Structure 1
Amino acid sequence: MRNDLDQLTALNRDYVAAVQNRDVERFDEILAPEFYCSNPDKTLVDRAAFLQQTARPIAIRNLHEHDVVIRIMGDFAIIHAATSYTTADGQQATGRYTDCWAKLNGRWLAVSAHVSR
């Protein structure tokens, strides 16, 4: 399980960095084909729409995850975490996310995300 925990810890960091850096290529590698995301604006987007929204400029900067809790249940894992970031007008803000991961053919892939701000 330690190896899985290490992998998921690194993938979680990659996921947050990919959001901040608009890294569509990294998301293309780590999102399952059936991925869906519940956005802070209450929209639900599939993988293709998520990749499109990732490519667009974002208004936040200095995005960091903290208070990360990773729960592994066999070939399924849930990551809960808090975020801190700076808004476009320079204000400090916080949020939360929950990501679900499945181990498919020996690889952890994100299958679902829920983001709140």
Structure 2
Amino acid sequence: MKTAGALLTLLLITVIPGMAGNEADADRGKLIALENAWNQAQMTKDVSGVEQLLAPMFIYTDYDGVVQDKKQFLDDLKDPAYRATSMINADAQVFPYHNAAVVVGTYHTKGTYKGKAFEHRGRFTDTWMYQDGKWVCVASHISLIKG
């Protein structure tokens, strides 16, 4: 009986961490895909697509220090004066915490605003929570990289 218990314990110790690792890897892949979907939705001004990715209490801090709630962020997306032609994330890393995760990386955005071309390179930090069977972003912050 002790042998069976020891074998079961050994099995649980070796199998469960592997299962958790696979689940974490799947979540990492899902979150990176959601980040990319967010970029595409912003470029095409798909407000409902972006809205589905954001929690009701979403908060955004822009590179210039402006803080927006979800409604303000989505209203900005509708601004016809802003047109992104390229939004690319790189070096993304996902740090999981139970039902939450922080995604950090760099971004490169090009486009026009009020007819003038712009190009931004910066870093982003997005905080996601797993709620009601899906990942939603609860907070996002970007900062420019000088140089």
TM-score w.r.t. the length of structure 2 is 0.72
CA–CA distance in structure 2, aligned partners of residues 2 and 96 of structure 1:
23
Which residue does the alignment assign to 1:61? 85
In the TM superposition, residue 104 of structure 1 has moved relative to its aligned partner by: 0.6
SS in 2 for 1:19: helix
- Following superposition, which runs of at least 4 residues in structure 1 exceed 3 angstroms of deviation? 87-93
What residue ranges of structure 2 are gaps of 5+ in the alignment? 1-23
Q: Does the aligned pair in 2 maintain the 1:87–1:93 contact within 8 Å?
A: no
Which residue, out of 107, 111, 116, partners 2:138? 111
Which residue does the alignment assign to 2:105? 81
Which residue does the alignment assign to 1:100? 127
Which residue does the alignment assign to 1:26? 49
CA RMSD after TM alignment: 1.7
In the TM superposition, residue 109 of structure 1 has moved relative to its aligned partner by: 0.4
CA–CA distance in structure 2, aligned partners of residues 81 and 102 of structure 1:
18
Letter paired with 2:78: A
TM-score w.r.t. the length of structure 1 is 0.88
- In the alignment of these two chains, the number of paired residues is 117
Indicate whether 1:71 and 2:95 are aligned: yes
Which residue does the alignment assign to 2:65? 42
In the TM superposition, residue 81 of structure 1 has moved relative to its aligned partner by: 1.2
CA–CA distance in structure 2, aligned partners of residues 13 and 42 of structure 1:
24
Which residue does the alignment assign to 1:9? 32
Higher percent of residues as helix: 2
What residue ranges of structure 1 are gaps of 5+ in the alignment? none
CA–CA distance in structure 1, aligned partners of residues 46 and 92 of structure 2:
21
SS in 1 for 2:96: strand
Q: Deviations over 1:66-110 (max 9, x none)?
A: 111111111110111111133535565411111000001221000
Letter paired with 2:123: R
Distance 1:2 1:25, change over 3 A: same
Letter paired with 1:26: G
CA–CA distance in structure 2, aligned partners of residues 34 and 92 of structure 1:
29
Distance 1:46 1:90, change over 3 A: closer
